[in-house]
Amino acid sequence: MDTSHGVKMVPIATIPPMAHDPIDRLRGEMEDLFADLWQVPRFTRRRGGFRPQIDCYRTERPAALTVVVELGGIDPSKIQIYADERTLVVAGERRRPRCTGRMYQQMEIDYGRFTRQVALAADVDVTGSKATYKRGILTIILPLAKKPSGPERVTIPIRSGR
C-alpha cells in the first residue's frame, strides 16, 4: 500500500516489537555493540543486511527528540518509519546495483535489508512527528509528549528535501 507521500506501508507484524524485558534489551544492545566493533562483511551478512548509523539527541526549544540516520543510496520511498511513545523503528533495504560484467577488486559497501529500533528516552507525540530525507540523511523529529500517550503505533511519512 502506498500513501500520497510515496512511503511504502508495511503491515506492523513484519517488524518485531522491541524487547521490553531488560535482559532482552541488554542482549540486543550487546549484539549491536559487537557488530559495531567487528564491522566486517562476514558479520554483516550473517545479520542479514547492513546497520545504518544513528544519532539521537534532545532539544529543549522546541521540546523534541531528533533522530538522524545515514541512509545514502536508498530511495526514500523504500524506507518505513514507525513510532510509538517509547520506540522508533526505521526499516528498509539498500539494493546493490545490478550490472553484468563487474569484477570487484574491493567490496566494502554494505547492502541488504535493515531494521533499526531506537529506545526513546522520553514519551513522544507520535502524531506530531515529521521525517525528511535529504542527500542520504534521514532526519526524524519527534515532539516530546505533554502527557504520556497510549500504546498506539504510527507510520511517519518522509518528505524529500531538495
What is d(CA 81, CA 154) in angstroms, rounded to the nearest whole number? 8
What is d(CA 138, CA 150) in angstroms, rounded to the nearest whole number? 26
Cell of 49: 543486511
Report, as ranges of residue numbers, the positions in the chain whose pLDDT lies below 50.
Answer: 1-15, 40-47
pLDDT, position 161 = 74
Sign for the pseudo-dihedral over CA of 80, 137, 86, 125? negative
- Residue extents of the structural domains in the chain: 12-160
pLDDT, position 33 = 76
Strands (E), the chain: 54-59, 64-70, 80-83, 87-94, 112-119, 130-134, 137-143, 154-155, 158-160
Q: Does domain 12-160 have CATH number 2.60.40.790?
A: yes
pTM of the model: 0.65
